[in-house]
Chain A
Amino acid sequence: MSILYDEGQQAIATESRRVLDARMDKSRLLQLLEQVGAHDQPFWDTAVEQGWTALAIPEEHGGLGLGLVELGLVAQACGAATAGAPFLTGGYGLSQALIQGSDAALAAEWLPKLASGEATGCVALAEGNAALPRVPSVRFADGKLSGTKPAVAGGLAAGLALVWADCAGEPALVVAELAAAGRSAVNSYDNSRLYADLSFDNTPAMVIALGSAARTLALDVLARMAVVTAHEQVGGAEALLHIARDYAVTRKAFGQPIGAFQSIKHRIAEMYGLVEIARANCIHAASLEGSSAFLIAAADARISATEAYDTNSRDCVQIHGGIGVTWELGLHLHMRRARSLAVECGNLLFWEDLLVDELTGEAA
């Protein structure tokens, strides 16, 4: 696949940015931080209306049949606006698992609903600090799930979950309707992500992959979500670069714009470098969707994008001085999102280890 965006892809990038610029509202996002259990419904309505939920779902299942490149561009626009209900990434992960999994009937049932936004999905692989635990504590037996998945993004409201479970000593990927599961909201520093502990007590579930196939599929789903998230992180990091630049050319101190001081301008130039390296990795990874080189490229994208977003939120606040730490200015929306995205779908430590394992040919 090409690493230059074609006209259709450029249009998706421009249009998603335009729509979000027009509809996002900082004061609404600030309010959401102080509420447990609420997400940005206007954003989600926009995502459904714009067809973003259908973007990467095949046409035969009611989707638009596009791929990671296009979804990545939308995610980038979401990241720039600190927009996003968590279902966009989670729904994508779930739909990819359904597409590649072994239960065609289940896929045929749920993919059209995920595409239309009628259903929302989340992905519950992690436990504790392990993104993909070798032996998950959640168990699957006789078509039933038992155990707890902690702090699942979107878990509080999603209708359907992809769950990583242990099935008599073998790993399994299963799909469960959450209506029958317990959910306990996590009061987080980024509340609109709708983190919830999901507890299963003999909850009915359908297996879609088992054994080593489950692990391979889980890794692919995780890597795909990591690439979407990396685009979102790049969008956020780039927005912070621009915010910092705009402030540095207007704010004056000691008789000149602060951007004329090398301590500030070099910091901003470094922010640019981090954004461009991460962006290049994202474009490359998205273009490798489905190929054998995808996992390494996804890890590269994820690592560089996490570094870019964390660093740029740190440095953008620093460049602003006092005003940067106020509630009202809202740079903390990015700071918070940088951290929540850094932890969701595998932290830096996980991706560093996975990348080195892949590079040295050792089992992940």
Chain B
Amino acid sequence: MSDLEAYRAKARTFLESMAPKYAREARSGNTVEQDLALGREYMAAKHDAGFAGINWPVAIGGQGLTHLHKITFDGEEMQFGMPVQFFGISLGMPVPILIHYCEDKEFVKERVRKALRGEEIWCQMFSEPSGGSDLAALRTKVEPDGNGWKMNGQKIWTSWAQYCDYGVIVTRSDPTVEKHKGLTYFWIDMRSKGVEVRPIKLAGGDSHVNEVFFDDVRVEDSQRLGAVGGGFGVSLHTLMIERYIATDSGGFGPHLDEFIKTARATNLNGRPAIEDGRIRSAIARNHAMRAGLDSITRRAFAMMMAGMQPGPEGSLQKLVAVRSRQKLSELAMDMRGAESLAFDEHAYVKTDWGTSWLNAPTGRIAGGSDEVLLNTIAEKILGLPQDYRPDKGVPFNAIPA
């Protein structure tokens, strides 16, 4: 057995021991707050068992293993539906950025430990009402204030901010230079005076994202991460950290087996729907597409194991998987007809077509919209020209509104 396979077996043993209390089945009907409490317990248990900070250096409290060990563990963990959704962003981006840029190493060590144990949660505050895809259009401003800074403005779509202790944020420190040159990056205490978090109820009924308002919030210069005016670079670094995370060719919706199950259990024109050519074609096309994405993932994994850089085709995963999940969910609902009208707001997105359909648009927008991903593939991989950009080379405060 290879080292990784042995590790996978060890991970499974741990996860199976946790499942009776923490896995999705054990938590059905829970409120978000109940899940969060269980999630914190589970994170602490994971830390105690040595499965926290898998690929982080031992010196800051990680396990010092490889990225492959981490995605091996994550892939196994995903199958159990553990209550880890609150901590994914926290440990995925803000905390690694803090580790990289914060100079107070004792402070960092303390934060890392508490974040790994689920005692503290970090959020990432990038998007604003004035721009999501266009990150550098942000308007939240900081001004010098004595030996520190004063922050005013608003962020939006901040995941789990209502439960967060800390956050990282990119702000405009100089509006007189080109838009991406006048940004500065900080960490902040979400309980600071002047920070207000307001949850946003989404179309699917849940409220995991928030608006965050800043009213004369005092920020120390020691909270700055990177140089003054270097915030765009730190932001890009943040977004680049986790390029090969655990992927899901089902677009984080139901497995194709669920569709086949539905097609077998449903009649269409007096015959099982599984015999209907339209349904069969959808199954075959989706299977071929998902198999391709799975093979891309396996190949990326094999390349990393061989010490190589995975190919750029990994950038297709979310784009292709989520939009096809959206259409397949529609077809599954059509197939069930009137029966699909009943809706259970507590249903699980990976087993319920209505829930999968209703939440799919979020997946196509969050973390890079389809359009931005297509632009990125076209420009970065294929060398096609950038879009027309009238804001280029213009000081931020001179860009026509």
B373-401 near A? 1/0 per residue, CB < 8 Å: 01101110111111110000000000000
Judging by beta carbons under 8 Å apart, are B316 and A304 in contact? no
A230 to B360, CA, bound (A): 32
With both chains docked as a complex, state the minimum distance between the C-beta of B206 and any C-beta of chain A, in angstroms.
30
A270 to B382, CA, bound (A): 11
Interface centre among B302, B306, B319, B385 (most CB of A within 10 A): B385
Chain A residues near B316 (CB, 8 Å)? 273, 276-277
Chain B residues near A13 (CB, 8 Å)? none
Judging by beta carbons under 8 Å apart, are B374 and A283 in contact? no
Contact of A2 among B289, B302, B385 (CB under 8 A): B302
Judging by beta carbons under 8 Å apart, are A359 and B287 in contact? yes
B263-284 near A? 1/0 per residue, CB < 8 Å: 0100000000010000011011
A276 to B296, CA, bound (A): 8
Judging by beta carbons under 8 Å apart, are B280 and A280 in contact? no
Chain B residues near A260 (CB, 8 Å)? 384-388
A241-272 near B? 1/0 per residue, CB < 8 Å: 10001001100000011011010111011101
A360 at the interface (CB under 8 A from B): yes
A22-59 near B? 1/0 per residue, CB < 8 Å: 00000000000000000000000000000000000000
A280 to B299, CA, bound (A): 8
Judging by beta carbons under 8 Å apart, are A283 and B295 in contact? yes
A245 to B377, CA, bound (A): 12
A356 to B295, CA, bound (A): 19
Judging by beta carbons under 8 Å apart, are A352 and B320 in contact? no
Chain B residues near A266 (CB, 8 Å)? 371, 374-375, 378
Judging by beta carbons under 8 Å apart, are A3 and B385 in contact? no
Chain B residues near A307 (CB, 8 Å)? 285, 288
With both chains docked as a complex, state the minimum distance between the C-beta of B298 and any C-beta of chain A, in angstroms.
6
B313 at the interface (CB under 8 A from A): yes
A266 to B384, CA, bound (A): 10
Judging by beta carbons under 8 Å apart, are A249 and B280 in contact? no
A262 to B298, CA, bound (A): 31
A358 to B299, CA, bound (A): 25
Interface centre among B288, B291, B375 (most CB of A within 10 A): B288
With both chains docked as a complex, state the minimum distance between the C-beta of A274 and any C-beta of chain B, in angstroms.
9
Contact of A280 among B295, B306, B382 (CB under 8 A): B295
B57 at the interface (CB under 8 A from A): no
Judging by beta carbons under 8 Å apart, are B381 and A3 in contact? no
Which A residues from 286 to 309 make CB contacts under 8 A with B? 296-297, 299-301, 303-304, 307
Judging by beta carbons under 8 Å apart, are A269 and B292 in contact? no
Interface centre among B289, B292, B319, B383 (most CB of A within 10 A): B292
A4 at the interface (CB under 8 A from B): yes
Give the residue name and chain of the A residue nearest to B386 (CB): A260
B260 at the interface (CB under 8 A from A): yes
Chain B residues near A259 (CB, 8 Å)? 378, 384-385
With both chains docked as a complex, state the minimum distance between the C-beta of A237 and any C-beta of chain B, in angstroms.
13
A353 to B293, CA, bound (A): 21
Judging by beta carbons under 8 Å apart, are A3 and B384 in contact? no
Chain A residues near B291 (CB, 8 Å)? 281, 284, 296-297, 300, 304
A272 to B378, CA, bound (A): 9
A307 to B284, CA, bound (A): 12
With both chains docked as a complex, state the minimum distance between the C-beta of B30 and any C-beta of chain A, in angstroms.
34
Give the residue name and chain of the A residue nearest to B377 (CB): A269
A245 to B381, CA, bound (A): 11
Chain A residues near B382 (CB, 8 Å)? 241, 245, 265, 268-269, 272
Chain A residues near B296 (CB, 8 Å)? 276-277, 280
A355 at the interface (CB under 8 A from B): yes
Chain B residues near A284 (CB, 8 Å)? 291, 295, 298
Given known contacts A262-B375, A268-B378, A278 and B292 CB-to-CB distance under 8 angstroms: yes
Given known contacts A4-B302, A284-B295, A359 and B320 CB-to-CB distance under 8 angstroms: no
Contact of B381 among A248, A272, A277, A278 (CB under 8 A): A272
A351 at the interface (CB under 8 A from B): yes
Judging by beta carbons under 8 Å apart, are A269 and B295 in contact? no
Given known contacts A300-B291, A304-B292, A351-B284, A280 and B313 CB-to-CB distance under 8 angstroms: yes
Give the residue name and chain of the A residue nearest to B293 (CB): A277
B303 at the interface (CB under 8 A from A): yes
Chain B residues near A352 (CB, 8 Å)? 280-281, 284-285
With both chains docked as a complex, state the minimum distance between the C-beta of A259 and any C-beta of chain B, in angstroms.
4
Judging by beta carbons under 8 Å apart, are A256 and B292 in contact? no
Contact of A262 among B287, B289, B292, B371 (CB under 8 A): B371
Which A residues from 317 to 353 make CB contacts under 8 A with B? 351-353
Chain A residues near B306 (CB, 8 Å)? 4
Judging by beta carbons under 8 Å apart, are B284 and A283 in contact? no
Contact of B298 among A3, A245, A303 (CB under 8 A): A3
A352 to B313, CA, bound (A): 25
Judging by beta carbons under 8 Å apart, are B295 and A273 in contact? no
A241 to B382, CA, bound (A): 9
Chain A residues near B381 (CB, 8 Å)? 272
Judging by beta carbons under 8 Å apart, are A276 and B387 in contact? no
Residues on A facing B (Cβ under 8 Å): 2-4, 241, 245, 248-249, 256-257, 259-260, 262, 264-266, 268-270, 272-273, 276-278, 280-281, 283-284, 296-297, 299-301, 303-304, 307, 351-353, 355-356, 359-360
Residues on B facing A (Cβ under 8 Å): 260, 264, 274, 280-281, 283-285, 287-289, 291-293, 295-296, 298-299, 302-303, 306, 313, 316, 319-320, 371, 374-375, 377-379, 381-388
- 28 A–B contacts from the bound complex (CB under 8 Å): A3-B298, A249-B383, A249-B384, A256-B388, A257-B385, A260-B385, A262-B375, A265-B382, A266-B378, A268-B378, A268-B382, A269-B384, A272-B377, A273-B316, A276-B292, A277-B292, A280-B292, A281-B291, A281-B295, A297-B291, A299-B284, A300-B291, A300-B292, A304-B292, A307-B285, A355-B287, A356-B283, A359-B287
Task: Add 20 more A-B contacts to A352-B284, A353-B280 (CB < 8 A).
Answer: A3-B299, A260-B388, A266-B375, A269-B384, A273-B377, A277-B288, A277-B320, A278-B292, A280-B292, A280-B313, A281-B288, A281-B295, A284-B291, A284-B298, A301-B288, A303-B285, A352-B281, A352-B285, A356-B280, A359-B260
